[in-house]
Structure 1
Amino acid sequence: MPLSRIQLPGERSRAQELYEFLRNAILDGTLEPNERLVEENIAALASVSRTPVREALRKLEADNLVRDTGQGIVVGTTSPEELEELCAVRETLEGMASRLAARLRSELEVASLRRILEEYREATQQRDVERLVVLNHAFHETIWQAARNRYLFRELTNLRDLIERLQKTTLDRPERQQAALPEHEALFEAIVRQDEDEAERLARQHFREAMAIRLMMARLAQKRL
């Protein structure tokens, strides 16, 4: 979908704000795979010179969100093979985050996870997919925060965004809705007990279950092309 006027807040550098705007547009599907991104057009829409546009596009290329075809910059695509690679990295980091969270979590974070789980149970009963997605993000982000490692948090956020760009969620599948709740509950209990080994094992297992569905969906979608 072509962009209309780009409004930048003007609170940080133009290149950074433009990067964030374009990144969000790619991740939410406003900019579609293989859509061309022309420096001159973006500069005109954002009322900036081409220099910050060029810098923003370089950062997006480093994030694997755009690619240079030799004839211009286009929005990148994610193949099932690339998705599998992303999932392998994320599984390891999810396990690491849960291990650290079990060791370092505060009582406030335990209370936050408990509250999120209560709401998650209710949303599961109501089959409220939109709410489940929000709560699922909140649950995992609370664990990442409890790990006390800003670089780990940043990498997990980036990996999640890249993976969900291909498929927003697996929670629209009833069988995944029912399976995810006890998986979350078991992981929560391991973190409460500060059982680091079990927290890591459960986090990796939980992620593998969800990713198996993602990979199956991606391969089916590829076959339809």
Structure 2
Amino acid sequence: MTQGRPAQKDAYHLILEAIDSGIYKPGDRLVESELAERFGVSRTPIREALQRLETQSLLERDGRSMIVASLDHNQMAELYQVRRELEGLAARLAARHATAEEIAVLRDMVVADDKLVGNPQALSRANRRFHEQIHLASHNRYLVQQLDLVHRTMALMATTSLAAEGRGEIAQNEHKGIVEAIAARNEDAAEKALKDHISIAFMTRLKLDADSRERR
């Protein structure tokens, strides 16, 4: 039996990953011809992908061009509010439905991620994997879909809150508390721990933004 080749990623996911990984940052202009050359695809799927990303508010028009969107203060506050509620629900459902294996994976992630404290970018990527694992452990496909869009939109923030001094270690301790509440099947505690975690991340980001404005 011959083994099939892995499916190639489409233009939408290629552009999305480039934004997510920081190759394209808020305010960067996306040109169809350049994207087609970079990803080795024709301009038609690139154009369709750009339109799809625009409908998701990840891109915005600047004249006839598309640029990577940026979030103002109100948009950021709205995003964190939605994220806090959805993440809290994911933690509650994970406490109810997570398998023993899923809980073991979460615990392993926390231990591994402790080694990344001091490297904000690497810790940010690990942080996303950790949260995605909780989403999956909720065993609710519709919630996972909504949280995926929320986390994609988080890429429109130029910096990570984990870059704040001391935030990495504190966030890791918060992760430990979330996992232990899930492992104990304590739905109320899991939901509260994750909601508090998101609230603290938001406050940290607000402080970073305030410091940035002061330095201008």
> Shorter-chain TM-score: which interval?
0.7 to 0.9
What residue in structure 2 maps to residue 172 of structure 1?
163
Following superposition, the deviation at residue 88 of structure 1 comes to 0.8
Amino acid at match of 2:130: F
Q: Is 2:50 the partner of 1:62?
A: no
2:122, 2:35 → 1: CA distance?
34
Matched, 1:74 2:40: no
Please identify runs of 4+ aligned residues in structure 1 that moved more than 6 A. Answer: none
Asked if structure 2 preserves the Cα contact closer than 8 Å seen for 1:65 and 1:75, the reply is yes
1:17, CA displacement in angstroms? 1.4
Give the aligned partner of residue 19 of structure 1.
Answer: 12
Report Cα offsets for 1:81-101 as digits up to 9, x if no partner: 211111111011100000000
1:185 equivalent to 2:176? Answer: yes
Distance of 1:199 and 1:41 partners within structure 2? 45
Structure 1 unpaired stretches of 5+ = 1-8
Q: Number of aligned pairs?
A: 212
Q: Which residue of 2 aligns with 1:203?
A: 194
With 31-40 and 137-146 compared, the bigger mean Cα shift is at 31-40
Distance 2:142 2:114 in 1: 31
Contact 1:84-1:215 within 8 A present in 2 as well: no
Q: Residue 167 of structure 1: CA displacement?
A: 3.7
Q: What amino acid is the match of 1:117?
A: V
CA drift at 1:219: 4.2
Change (3 A) 1:57 1:110: same
Shift of 1:29: 3.0
Q: 1:222 to 1:173 in 2, by over 3 A?
A: closer
CA distance 1:67–1:135, change in 2 (3 Å): closer
* 2:113 is the alignment partner of 1:110: no
Deviations 1:65-112 (A, max 9, x none): 211234332222222221111111101110000000000010001111
- Does residue 83 of structure 1 match 2:87? no
SS of equivalent residue, structure 1 residue 174: coil
Of 177, 201, 206 in structure 2, the residue corresponding to residue 215 of structure 1 is: 206
Partner in structure 2 of residue 153 of structure 1: 144
RMSD: 2.7
Matched residues in 2 for 1:41 and 1:114: separation?
42
In structure 2, relative to structure 1, the CA distance for the partners of 1:59 and 1:146 (3 Å cut) is same
Whether the 8 Å contact between 2:70 and 2:156 is mirrored in structure 1 is no
Residues 1:52 and 2:45 are matched in the alignment = yes
Tell me if the contact between 2:35 and 2:46 (Cα under 8 Å) persists in the aligned partners: yes
State the distance in 1 between where 2:122 and 2:23 align. Answer: 22
Cα distance in 1 for residues equivalent to 2:129 and 2:141: 16
For normalisation by structure 1, the TM-score amounts to: 0.80
Which TM-score applies when normalising by structure 2?
0.83
Partner Cα separation in structure 2 for residue 29 and residue 123 of structure 1: 19
Query: Quick one: distance in 2 between partners of 1:121 and 1:30?
Result: 26
Alpha carbons of 1:128 and 1:65: their partners in 2 closer, same or farther (altered >3 Å)?
closer
**How many percent identity over aligned positions?**
33
Q: Using the alignment, how far apart are the partners of 1:204 and 1:33 within structure 2? A: 27
For residues 169 and 54 of structure 1, the distance between their equivalents in structure 2, rounded to whole angstroms, comes to 30
Distance 1:115 1:197 in 2: 23
1:33 aligned residue (7, 19, 26): 26
CA contact (8 A) 1:97 1:152 kept: yes
Distance 2:34 2:128 in 1: 35
